[in-house]
Amino acid sequence: MQTRMLGKSGLEVSALGFGCMGMSFGYGPAGDQQEMISVIRAAVDLGVTFFDTAEVYGPYTNETLVGQALAPVRDQVVIATKFGFQFDPNGKPAGLNSRPEHIKLVADASLKRLKTDRIDLLYQHRVDPKVPVEDVAGAVKDLIKEGKVKHFGLSEAGVQVIRRAHAVQPITALQSEYSLWWREPEAEIIPTLEELGIGFVPFSPLGKGYLTGKMDENTTFDSTDFRNTVPRFSADARKANRALVDLLTGIAQRKHATPAKIALAWLLTRKPWIVPIPGTTKLHRLQENTAATDVELSTTDLHDIETAASKIEIQGERYSEAAQKMINR
């Protein structure tokens, strides 16, 4: 697989990373541990070197899974994880916490779960309005000096927060949602990242599965699947948004590809420092996703996508009201 540099940081990773969250959390029951380890190791065999997890995924269980899966190849891969949540006595997320002393405790705990002596990329998972981002950046800077962390990142942060944090400790990457059905970062975020030399790591590059074309308004989700709470995944919204899948399907047929491959290939054309992190629990989907790096979209293809997409108005918010409140813009 081709590699890419995340901005000007010197951190080189595979052109497509792997989002591990869904193996343990978010999209229904956790997968079988040994099966998930096999999929992660298959990703390594396919050339993926960039793996994304977080303390809150599980909580904790996803980091443990990733650590176990990647232990035999630790020096060949880049592991990203995240801090930023507080948990109640039952282990349930209970708001945000990015106080410097908390960040350092979380980093030490993550290192143990990941079975490693350093975190390659440590993100603040959500901006904490109660803690100045300068203090957050300073705490991670200390961890970098100690050798426990190599690079600093932010997730779902707005332009002003990015600039303020970057002035204290250079940011290697911003992780936020970006795909053909969520293009808000194009207005201000992407130009700012380009100016500052920061890489961009889009999560949900396949629209939480919708852009694969494998679901419609009749699809049902497990009761523990967070998409049940997402307005964009209401039956009416899924039906209304079908036009975008139809667009991808048309281009895919022309290119002898799949809608998922076209959606990922489109993202890869946006900037050379964008590294999407699609996730899956299935080997055949992993193989499909990684093959997207071989799809070449011509100027005509891109023009056709842009022209058609501009006429489609996507229905439904991308998060529940409670989750929206944690997004900093």
**pLDDT tens digits, 93-121:** 999 999 999 999 999 999 999 999 999 99
- What pLDDT does residue 20 have? 98
Task: Express each pLDDT in 68-87 by its tens digit.
Answer: 999 999 999 999 999 999 99
Residues β-bridged to residue 31: none
Catalytic residues: 57
| Alpha-helix residue ranges (DSSP H) falling in the chain | 33-45, 61-70, 100-113, 133-146, 159-168, 189-196, 235-240, 242-255, 259-270, 283-290, 299-309, 321-324
What pTM did the predictor assign? 0.98
- What radius of gyration, in Å, describes the C-alpha atoms of the chain? 19
The Cα 253–Cα 236 span in angstroms is 26
Q: 3-324 architecture in CATH?
A: Alpha-Beta Barrel (3.20)
Q: Closest by alpha carbon to 243, among 308, 178, 153, 171? A: 308
The Cα 238–Cα 312 span in angstroms is 13
pLDDT of 288 above 90:
yes
pLDDT of 263 above 90:
yes
pLDDT of 19 above 90:
yes
Task: Express each pLDDT in 219-243 by its tens digit.
Answer: 999 999 999 999 999 999 999 999 9
CB 245 within 8 A of CB 45: no
- What pLDDT does residue 91 have? 87
Task: Express each pLDDT in 130-184 by its tens digit.
Answer: 999 999 999 999 999 999 999 999 999 999 999 999 999 999 999 999 999 999 9
Q: Side chain identity at 18, as an amino acid letter?
A: F
- Non-local CB neighbours of 177 within 8 Å, separated by 6+ positions: 156, 185, 202, 203, 204, 318
Q: How confident is the model at residue 329 (pLDDT cuts 50, 70, 90)?
A: confident
- What pLDDT does residue 212 have? 97
Q: How confident is the model at residue 323 (pLDDT cuts 50, 70, 90)?
A: very high
The Cα 192–Cα 40 span in angstroms is 33
Q: Please give the structure tokens belonging to residue 216.
A: 């419609």
Q: What is the mean pLDDT of residues 41-63?
A: 98
- What pLDDT does residue 90 have? 87
Q: What is the mean pLDDT of residues 192-208?
A: 98
The Cα 107–Cα 223 span in angstroms is 32
* Greater model confidence, 89 or 52: 52
- What pLDDT does residue 292 have? 98
